[in-house]
Chains A and B, each alone.
Chain A
Amino acid sequence: MTMTAPGPVPLALTVNGSPLARMVAPRTTLADFLRTELELTATHVGCEMGACGACLVLLDGVPVHSCLVFAVQAEGQQVETVEGLVARGALARLQDAFHARNALQCGFCTPGMLVNAHALLERGGVPDREEIRDALSGNYCRCTGYEAIVDAIEAAARAERGEGGAR
């Protein structure tokens, strides 16, 4: 027999810069909360165990697997999804480089890739290809073969430093 799920509890947090308050079942993951309750569907769910990286969001500026975080754990914190990052232009160079290099096919992994790549580039400097591949080691892409993604992130890092556009 299953136990009856506990009833909803209050949750207050900031998502993409907007403070909001909702009632949420304690067992709801942050990924499900974002996708279902807030209809922020750029965040994807691929494995529900933190292996594939499709659900990465920024929690207080740090990439986390939103499938491994309960929504209630984000109480009082700042959540930023790809929708928010795109709206404030934080991903523009990455978006341009991914587009030019065709660093995506089906696009399902792409939001997670962008969140992770954004965090990598925020560290500053131009990471080398090994560093980029290492940073992406938790982001599964079945379509591209990864090379174009590595190229695009490298190109975006160079563009960030004014070293010329995507190559």
Chain B
Amino acid sequence: MNAPTVFGKPDRPSPEAGRPDAHAGPHVGAPLPRPSAKRLLAGRGTYVTDIKLPRMLHAAFVRAPFAHARITRIDVAAARAAPGVALVATGEDLARLCTPWVGTLDHFQGMKSAPQLPLPLERVTWSGQAVVAVVAESRAAAEDACELVEVEYEELAVLADLDGALAPDAPAIAPGFADNVCFRSVVEKGEVEALFAAAAHVVETEMTFGRHTGVTLEPRALIADFDASERRLTVHHATQTPFQFQDIYARHYGLPEARVRVVAPDVGGSFGIKLHVYHEDMAVIGLAMLAGRPVKYVADRLEAFVSDIHARDHRVRAKAAVDADGRVLAIAAQDETAIGPFSTYPRTSAVEGNQVIRLIGAPYRLEAYRGELKVVFQNKTQTSQYRAVGHPIACAVTEHLMDRAAARLGLDPFDIRARNLIPDDAYPCASPTGYQFEKLSHEACLGRLRALMDYERLRAEQAAARARGIYRGIGIAAFVEITNPTPAFYGVGGARISAQDGAVITVTPSGEVRCTISVTEQGQGTEAIIGQIVADYLGVSRDVVRVITGDTETTPHGGATWACRGAGIGGETALQAAKKLKANVLALAAAILQAQPCDLDLVDGAVRDAGGGAVRLALAEVARIAYFRSDTLPPGIEAQLTVAHHYAPKGYPFAFTNGVHGCHVEVDTETGLVKILKHFVVEDCGRIINPLLVEEQVRGGVVQGLGAAFFEECRYDGNGQLLNGSLADYLVPMACEMPDIVIAHMETPTRDTELGAKGCGEAGTAASAAAALNAVNDALAPHGALLTQIPMTPARLLKALGTI
């Protein structure tokens, strides 16, 4: 057990001398439990799945049994006549209401994708696609009526693997397409060919990554309620990004933006899954318009498996040029990634591959790099951004090459990384792919990990165990993580996805504080950290700060929570808003006290003489005068106890973070089963606002990465049929399989913001699979076996060992 014994401030050295932020509030940096967790622990959570509206109807969908087929006939007459059915809708019915969408971004040149509609008109393009919607008094009645819908199909050729889709004679995924490549890209810097030609050593690999998915425990859910009298749409939506959906529903259904309200209550996990446009979800908006009553849709688990975005279906060929001293001079990589029949809207299916080829090699000093990407259409479920987009692939490729190079030269894995990591004194600098690094701490993290793992002891134990026929392995993996994105991420590509966030903070008549903010909560603790920041930078106790998120009608417009922007961008927004409000409070207090604002401070809910002096006036008294006795204020003084502030990240396009993982495993060479003995993470997410939350974010991320490493894979047959769409067949990591996870922090704040925070949500997922892969290969080394595919199932292990 490595949980903090008492929840004191953990030991967090900064590689820089001294802490750059001298602010000494009691909340920021403290491991405070989340206030809202008490409500969830009392069974008082309110998820969309729990919400009932008056006269609410329920939608169910008839789904395509084929991965690619032409629809030749649809007969809904019997379903329309079934008990309790209010409405049956086909693609044509909804196409009259909803304009098509196309999942491309302008800055991805040459990208193509077919237009999409809620339900198809002529063709189905993946197995499980929703074809006909039935709306009824209960979900059961809707499902009963679905069975009465008759749809006839003419099967078409299916694209179910990369090579088939890339073959010169492959059928096109969509009419008029010359090939099945959605997007291709090359990034190149330096003399790649010359370095490979002259290299003392070249190591090569081909790696395969299993398609997997987010498996949020609460499936996707929404309730759409359309009031035709005012043309007002309210959507209760389990999503990370209410503002994005407000914009999309307004534009595609021709409604004024101000009349579309999206409310995200408690959300049962998201991890990137619940921010994409899904066909059923778009259909439900139209169904509510047609029905004139609220319509609810909750995906069941099979529906989630065939319609939630999938991710990480990649095949990467890569090689590294290494000199005689173990310096990796150049990497060349070709990534081919299999997506769905179109690119996902509005964030596309190309960002993941784009990040793979730009993140390979990123922790290391390379002289040259070439990354080539092909994003390839398939008749499978659409793919898009899932937690740590692209990072786990890039990290596994890079770190596998590092271990291969180390093995070739007879170097220790720590040693080769120490020779190649970007030195901690080299900043600012850029990766060969153009990512600009403000300041990272790779060397410090690597050193810390070595001590944290007690590496020499683990190696000694490994040797002793091998003598007894027990095969343990140690793997390490360094990463960089993209956080705090500017408009360079989506805005420049034409997507209406905000890079800025907004906050409105009010001192209430009782002297308490209410903060509405555009970043959203899915359990990571957004509301808790915003409360901590507001409390410290305004000067009140967190107990009096109420934070409200997740409603487009009551909070300012903003990007919300994704890609690690909640703390870094949302936090800075709250900080600046709190400072603005504090200035207003002090100006008002100064007028009341006939003092100068600069001589006063607000500390723990009371106006005091600056510099720790005596209490002059309680904040509640300032508020009482402002709200109820403005007549007593000096002439010309107006109380402004509400402020709004918007903040968009400036400076570096992204705030990169870094860290290194270590994984310790034991492989049973007879069964192919792997026991994960322990996992270690040293990470640097900048200034830590709440270590209790950061650590559990990192642990949760590690476990998602270990799931990908050992268990999770959406398995398809050659006809494009998903074979394992249930939680009995698709394996997710459970408590009994997961290790304790030891975490340590470095703290290198970004100087782009006053807060100094970066993101930590991807740090666990980015490198845990890579570390696990290296650990398993280390354990297998005495057998001459090598795995280059995840998940590392027992069957694949036994194949690598030559047993089967």
A residues lining the B interface (CB < 8 Å): 1-2, 5, 25, 27, 35, 39, 41-42, 44-49, 51-52, 54, 81-83, 86, 91, 95, 98-102, 104-111, 114, 129, 132-134, 136-151, 154, 167
Contacts and interface: CB of A to CB of B under 8 A. Distances in A.
A8 B710 CA distance: 46
Interface of B: 1, 3, 5-7, 33-34, 37-38, 40-47, 49-50, 52, 140, 144, 147-148, 214-219, 266-271, 300-301, 522-525, 692-693, 696, 698-704, 726-728, 732, 734-736, 738, 740-741, 764
A145 B696 contact: yes
B696 A49 contact: no
A2 B78 CA distance: 11
A47 B217 CA distance: 8
B728 to A, nearest CB: 5
- Interface pairs A-B: 7 shortest CB-CB: A42-B43, A145-B699, A107-B40, A105-B523, A106-B523, A108-B268, A41-B50
A42 B266 CA distance: 12
B727 A106 contact: no
B218 A44 contact: yes
B217 A52 contact: yes
Given A99-B33, A102-B33, A82 B43 contact: yes
Contacts of B696: 102, 105, 143-145, 148
Contacts of B37: 98-99, 102, 104, 107
28 contacts: A2-B144, A2-B147, A44-B217, A46-B217, A46-B218, A46-B727, A47-B301, A82-B43, A100-B33, A102-B33, A102-B692, A105-B522, A105-B525, A107-B45, A108-B217, A110-B41, A129-B1, A132-B735, A136-B735, A138-B734, A140-B727, A143-B696, A145-B703, A146-B699, A147-B738, A150-B735, A151-B1, A167-B3
Interface of A is mostly: loop
B727 A49 contact: yes
A142 B215 contact: yes
Given A148-B696, A151-B1, A108 B45 contact: yes
B301 A81 contact: no
Contacts, number: 183
A149 B269 CA distance: 17
B704 A142 contact: yes
B703 A106 contact: no
Contacts of A142: 214-217, 269, 271, 700, 704, 732
A1 B693 CA distance: 52
A98 B43 CA distance: 13
B726 A51 contact: yes
Contacts of B692: 102
A47 B42 CA distance: 22
A102 B727 contact: no
Nearest to A130: B736
A140 B703 CA distance: 12
B523 A148 contact: no
Contact of B300 (A5, A48, A137): A48
Contacts of B45: 42, 107-108, 110
Nearest to A50: B728
Contact of A147 (B3, B44, B217, B728): B3
A54 B271 CA distance: 19
Contact of A114 (B41, B700, B764): B41
A114 B38 CA distance: 13
A145 B700 contact: yes
Given A5-B140, A145-B696, A100 B735 contact: no
Nearest to B52: A39
Contacts of A98: 37, 41
Contact of A144 (B7, B699, B726): B699
Given A2-B144, A49-B728, 10 more contacts: A42-B45, A45-B49, A102-B37, A106-B269, A108-B218, A114-B41, A133-B736, A140-B217, A145-B696, A150-B735
B217 A54 contact: yes
Nearest to A91: B41
Contacts of A144: 696, 699-700, 703
B764 A106 contact: no
Given A49-B301, A147-B699, A104 B41 contact: yes
Contact of B38 (A99, A129, A154): A99
Nearest to B728: A51
A106 B728 contact: no
B197 to A, nearest CB: 46
A82 to B, nearest CB: 4
Contacts of A82: 43
Contacts of B271: 142
A140 B144 contact: no
A2 B142 CA distance: 12
B41 A95 contact: yes
A49 to B, nearest CB: 6
Contacts of A154: 1
